[in-house]
Amino acid sequence: MKWYRLAAEQGLARAQHKLGTMYSRGPAVHYVSSYMWLNLAASGMPPGENRDVAVEQRDAIAAKMTPAQIAEAQRLAREWRPK
pLDDT digits (tens, 9 = 90+) for 26-57: 777 899 999 999 999 999 999 888 999 999 99
Please state, as a whole number, how many other Cβ atoms lie within 10 Å of the Cβ of residue 82. Answer: 9
Stated pTM of the model? 0.93
Does residue 11 carry a pLDDT above 80? yes
Residue closest to 16 by CA, chosen among 28, 31, 35: 35
Break the chain into its structural domains and give their ranges: 2-79
Residues 19-32, mean pLDDT to the nearest whole number:
90
CA distance 3 to 70: 26
Residues 53-64, mean pLDDT to the nearest whole number:
96
